[in-house]
Chains A and B, each alone.
Chain A
Amino acid sequence: MGLLFVLPAALYVAVFQLGPVLYGLVLSFSSYSPISRDGPSFIGWDNYAAIVNDAEFGQAMLVTGRYVLQVLPITVAIALGLAILSNRTFRGVGLFRTGLYVPHVVSLTAVSMIWLWMYSDVGLVNLVLDALGQPGQRWLTTESGALNAVSAMRIWKALGSNMVLLLAGLQTVPKDLYEAARMDGANAWQQFRAVTLPGIRPMLTYVIVMDIIYLAQGFAEIFVLTQGGPYGTTTTVNYLIYTEAFQYNQMGSASAMAFVLFAFIAALTIVALRAGQGRRS
C-alpha cells in the first residue's frame, strides 16, 4: 500500500530528475547539435579534454569560484551579526525579520532590474555619489568592477534568508550555557567563541552549503545585469553552459561543462561539511 502512494512521486522523479542526469551524462560523452538531422554520436572523453584546454571555460570557473568566495563570507558574517541582534524578543522584531527577508522572496530577475537601474548612469548609486561631490562610474561595464557590482547585489539579496536560518540556529543554543560562561567570567567575545559558535555549528554549515549551491549556479543576475561581459569577466559557468547549449547548439560539450560544475559544487560542499564537523567528533 505504501508503495502505491509513493509510486507517482517516485516515477516522476525517476523520469524527470534521475533520467535527465543519466541522459546528460551520456550527452557529455557525445557530440550533438539539435539543429542537425543526426542524433548524438559517441566521442568518448573529447568534450572533457576540450574543456580542460578551453581558456573561456577556465575563466568561467575562476569567475564562479571568485563569485562564491567573495559573496559568501561577507553575507554570512553580516547575517550572523543581524541574527544575534534580533535574537531577543522585543516589540517590532518580527517587522525587521520580515523586512530583511523581502529581497529573498522577490525573484532574481526582478531584483536585478532594480539594480540595473541603480547601477546605471542616472541610477541611485551615481546620484548618491553626485550628491557627495564624487564623480559617477559605469559600474557594470568595467572589467575590474562588474563582478564586484553583481556580488554586492547578491550579498544584499541573501542576507535575509541567511539571517533567518542562523537565528533559528541561535535559538537552539541553551540559555544556561551563557549563564555558566558568565559565571566563569567570560566576556562577550569569549561567550561567542565558546558557546554561540559551537552551538550554531550545524546550522552555520547548512547555511554555507546552501549558499555555495545557490551562488555557484549564478545565472539570472548575470543575464540581466551584464550578459557575461565585459570580456567574459562576469561569465559564470552556468552562463557559459547556457550560451554553449542554446546559442551555439553544442549540447554535448555544454553537458560536460555541467558535470564539471557539478563536481566543483560537490567538492566545495564536501570541504564545507568537513570543516563544519570540525574537531567536535
Chain B
Amino acid sequence: MLGIRRRRRPTWPRVVMLAAVTAAVLLPFWWMISLAFTPEGHSVRFIPEQPTVENFQIAVQAANLDTAFANSTLVTVVAVLTNCTVPVIAGYSFAHLPFRGSKPLFYVLLSTVAIPVSVTLIPLFLMARHFPLAGGNDLLGAGGSGLLDSVGGLMLPYLVGTMNIFLSRQYFAGMDRGFAEAARIDGASELRTFAQIYLPMAKPLLALVAVFSFTGVWDDFLWPLVVSASERSVTVQLAITTFAASGNVRYGALMAATILVTLPVLVVFLVNQRSFISGLAEGGIKG
C-alpha cells in the first residue's frame, strides 16, 4: 500500500483480553465436567481428586436417557432429511423458476419467520391431538389422542423450516442460470437439472441447513414439553429437566446427564463450525 504502511499496534493486549473473556465464558462448562466426574458426597474441585464415571451410570439409568436418545435421534434425523430436501427445492424454484405470483408467495412464507412460538403452540397442540387416523382418531380427528405422546407428534412442527427456504433462495440466486439453459438444450428435465447440476454444487448450503436443523430440533424444549405425556415420547431435553425436578437433585449425576445430552450438538457444531458461523453471519447480512 504505497509504502506508507502504518506500524500495526501489537496484538498481545487483545489476545490477553480475549483469552480472559473466553476462559471466563467457558469456565461454567469446566466446572460442569469436574462436577460430573466427582464422586457423590465429595466436594467439587477444579480438577476432581478421584475421578469416577459412576455419575454417568446413574444418569443413564435414572434419567431415561436411552429412550430419550432413541426418540431425539429419530426426530432429528427425519427433520434434517426433510429440511435438506423440501425447503431447498422450494428455494431453488423461487430463485430460478419464477412463476406467476411466486414473489408474493415467497414473502408470505418468509413472514412466518417472525411469528412467536407461543402463538402457534396451542393450535399445533390441538391439531396434533385431532390429527386424523392417528392414535385412535377417526377420519375427522375425533375419539383418540391423535399424535400426542408419539414420535410423530414430536416431529410435526419441525419438518420444513421457513428460514431454510430463504437461505436456499439466497444461495441459488447467487448461482449461474447458464447451467440450466445448457441442460435444457440437452433435453434434461427441470428436476434432473436441479438434482444433477445445482444440488451437487450446493453442498455448503446443505451442510448449513443440516446443522441448523440438527441443533434447532435437538435443543428444542417447549414443543416436546407440551406434546409428550409419558416415557414413550420423552426427548433428551425433557429427560434432563424431568431428572432435575425429581426430588433431591444430585448435581453430579445431573451434570453427567447434561454432558451426554449436549455432546451430539457440540460435535456437530465443532465439525461444521466454519459453515455454521459464516452461514449465521450471511443470513444476517443478506436478511
Contact = CB atoms under 8 A, between A and B. Distances in A.
Nearest to A252: B122
Contact of A220 (B93, B112, B222): B222
B191 to A, nearest CB: 8
A166 B18 CA distance: 16
Interface stretch (B50-58, B94-102, B132-140, B201-209): B94-102
A154 to B, nearest CB: 13
Contact of A156 (B25, B112, B281): B25
Given A107-B265, A265-B116, A172 B123 contact: no
Q: Is the interface of B mostly helix, strand, loop or mixed?
A: helix
Contact of B127 (A20, A99, A259, A262): A20
B69 interface: no
A106 B262 contact: yes
Contacts of A106: 219, 262, 265-266
B92 A5 contact: yes
A277 to B, nearest CB: 16
A252 to B, nearest CB: 9
B62 to A, nearest CB: 15
A265 B11 CA distance: 41
Contacts of A117: 31-32, 35, 251, 254-255
Nearest to B211: A105
Given A2-B99, A9-B165, A99-B22, A21 B17 contact: no
Contact of A110 (B18, B108, B262): B262
Interface in A235-256: 237-238, 241-242, 245-246, 251, 254-255
B280 interface: yes
B269 interface: yes
Contact of B277 (A97, A116, A122, A262): A97
Contacts of A92: 15
B280 A17 contact: no
Interface in A252-269: 254-255, 257-259, 261-262, 265-266, 269
Given A97-B277, A245-B122, A2 B102 contact: yes
A21 B18 contact: no
A6 B90 contact: yes
Interface stretch (A46-54, A68-76, A142-150, A157-165): A157-165
A256 B225 CA distance: 21
Contact of A114 (B32, B115, B129, B241): B32
B160 A258 contact: no
A18 B162 CA distance: 11
Given A207-B284, A262-B119, A85 B25 contact: no
A258 B121 contact: yes
A229 interface: no
A62 interface: no
A223 B221 contact: yes
B248 interface: no
Interface string A108-149: 111101111110101010010000000000000000000000
A162 to B, nearest CB: 10
A9 B87 contact: yes
B78 interface: no
A241 to B, nearest CB: 5
A21 B266 contact: no
Contacts of A169: 284-285
Interface in A1-56: 1-3, 5-6, 8-10, 12-13, 16-21, 23-24, 27, 34
A107 B15 contact: no
Given A85-B14, A207-B284, A251-B126, A217 B277 contact: no
A225 B251 CA distance: 14
B254 to A, nearest CB: 6
B261 A110 contact: yes
Contacts of A9: 86-87, 89-90, 109, 160, 165
B281 A167 contact: yes
A1 B97 CA distance: 7
Residue from B14, B119, B160 whose CB has the most chain A CB atoms within 10 Å: B119
Interface in A80-102: 82, 85-86, 88, 90, 92-93, 95-102
A10 B109 contact: yes
B213 interface: no
21 contacts: A2-B98, A16-B120, A16-B159, A20-B124, A92-B15, A96-B22, A101-B277, A107-B265, A109-B219, A110-B261, A113-B254, A113-B255, A114-B29, A114-B32, A168-B281, A169-B285, A217-B118, A238-B118, A242-B222, A245-B125, A255-B119
Interface of B: 6, 11, 14-15, 17-19, 21-22, 25-26, 28-29, 31-32, 35, 43-44, 86-87, 89-90, 92-94, 96-99, 102, 105, 108-109, 112, 114-127, 129, 156-157, 159-160, 162, 165, 190-191, 194, 215, 218-222, 225-226, 237, 240-241, 244, 249, 251, 254-255, 258, 261-262, 265-266, 269-270, 273, 277, 280-282, 284-285, 287
